[in-house]
């Protein structure tokens, strides 16, 4: 029996599915807000909250490795590579190892390919997720992309993102059951570097990620999908994104044109681009 520890955040908990699927018969120790998604990951037989007793004789794999998780007696812990990740932002050095590579190395298994969640039913809809916890990760051209898609469009978001989603005719879903249900019928999911991007990929959907303050090489986009991003000297400017652009122009996403994103979405969905 294994116990996998990853307290947060949504994207990291989902990416841990590459390890739980490979290990099998896993208890997942995470914050209660993530229990609904953690128990759906392939290989997970139960969930635990911080402070709960661990199964007797369990091998503990700590995929968080911070001061809080260090209180859990683990057999192995993920290599965080914090200095490499900070140097990447400050000096534009080589990126750290991908998250899945580090997770799998800590667990001693090869990462399992997605889906790690119950697969979403495929259809012809473009599902877009315009929100992001950090403002600098929000692409400003979602409405134009929705208008250009040759089929149905559905916008989704989480609680608190109503102002971003409602103008696109979408809904903010509370609870992972409803969020996963909103992915049904999608041909492709397009999102920023957010938890919903990982959620779509983990449910087996083709995904297109729009990267601005972070880059697809920084370790959070290592399970496939298509990345759309600009080669700018200022990128990456942050490990996670932030409230404002450090150089004041937000070119990384402002100048990311609709035509390029649409072409990536069509290609990911296996559709031919529109004539003309």
Is residue 114, in this structure, part of any structural domain at all? no
CATH number of the structural domain spanning residue 141: 3.40.50.2000
Residues 175 and 236 in one domain: yes
Residues 65 and 195 in one domain: no
| pLDDT tens per residue across span 13-64 | 999 999 999 999 999 999 999 999 999 999 999 999 999 999 999 999 999 9
What is the overall mean pLDDT for the chain? 93
Residues 13 and 89 in one domain: yes
From 52, 75, 107, the end of a domain falls on 107
Residues 153 and 191 in one domain: yes
CB-based contacts of 53: which residues, under 8 Å, 6+ apart?
none
* pLDDT for 235 beyond 50: yes
Confidence band, pLDDT 50/70/90 cuts, at residue 158: confident
* Count of the separate structural domains present in the chain: 2
Confidence band, pLDDT 50/70/90 cuts, at residue 276: very low
Is residue 33, in this structure, part of any structural domain at all? yes
Q: Which two tokens stand for residue 83?
A: 């200095």
Residues 255 and 172 in one domain: yes
What integer is the mean pLDDT of 244-259? Answer: 97
Residues 91 and 28 in one domain: yes
The pTM (predicted TM-score) of the whole model is: 0.94
Residues 94 and 210 in one domain: no
* pLDDT for 220 beyond 80: no
From 107, 134, 149, the end of a domain falls on 107
Q: Are 139 and 253 in contact (CB under 8 A)?
A: yes
Give which of 252, 276, 274 is closest to 148, Cα–Cα. Answer: 274
CA–CA gap between residue 64 and residue 23 (Å, rounded)? 17
Residues 87 and 150 in one domain: no
Is residue 180, in this structure, part of any structural domain at all? yes
* pLDDT for 121 beyond 50: yes
Residue ranges making up the domain that contains 163: 124-268
Residues 96 and 232 in one domain: no
What integer is the mean pLDDT of 71-88? Answer: 96
Please state, as a whole number, how many other Cβ atoms lie within 10 Å of the Cβ of residue 66. Answer: 12
Residues 134 and 96 in one domain: no
Residues 133 and 91 in one domain: no
Model pLDDT, residue 178: 84
Residues 27 and 158 in one domain: no
From 74, 107, 140, the end of a domain falls on 107
Distance, C-alpha 90 to centroid of its chain: 23
């Amino acid at each position: 029996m294994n116990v996998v520890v990853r307290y947060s955040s949504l994207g990291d908990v989902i990416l841990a599915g590459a390890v739980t699927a490979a290990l099998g018969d896993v208890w997942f120790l995470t914050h209660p807000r993530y229990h609904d998604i953690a128990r759906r990951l392939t290989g997970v037989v139960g969930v635990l909250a911080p402070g709960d007793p661990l199964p007797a004789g369990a091998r503990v794999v700590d995929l968080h490795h911070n001061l809080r998780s260090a209180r859990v007696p683990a057999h192995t812990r993920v290599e965080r590579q914090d200095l490499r990740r900070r140097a990447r932002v400050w000096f534009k050095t080589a990126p750290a190892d991908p998250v899945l590579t580090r997770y799998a190395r800590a667990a001693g298994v090869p990462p399992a390919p997605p889906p790690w969640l119950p697969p979403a039913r495929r259809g012809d809809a473009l599902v877009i997720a315009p929100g992001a916890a950090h403002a600098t990760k929000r692409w400003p051209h979602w409405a134009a992309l929705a208008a250009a898609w040759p089929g149905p469009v559905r916008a989704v978001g989480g609680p608190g993102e109503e102002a971003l989603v409602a103008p696109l005719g979408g809904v903010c879903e509370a609870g992972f059951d409803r969020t996963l249900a909103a992915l049904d019928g999608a041909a492709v999911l397009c999102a920023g570097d957010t938890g919903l991007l990982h959620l779509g990929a983990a449910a087996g959907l083709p995904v297109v990620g729009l990267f601005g303050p972070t880059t697809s090489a920084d370790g959070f986009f290592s399970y496939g999908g298509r990345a759309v991003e600009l080669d700018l000297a200022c990128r990456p400017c942050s490990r996670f994104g932030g409230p404002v652009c450090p150089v004041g122009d937000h070119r990384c996403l402002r100048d990311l044109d609709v035509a390029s994103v649409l072409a990536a979405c069509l290609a990911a969905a296996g559709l031919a681009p529109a004539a003309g």
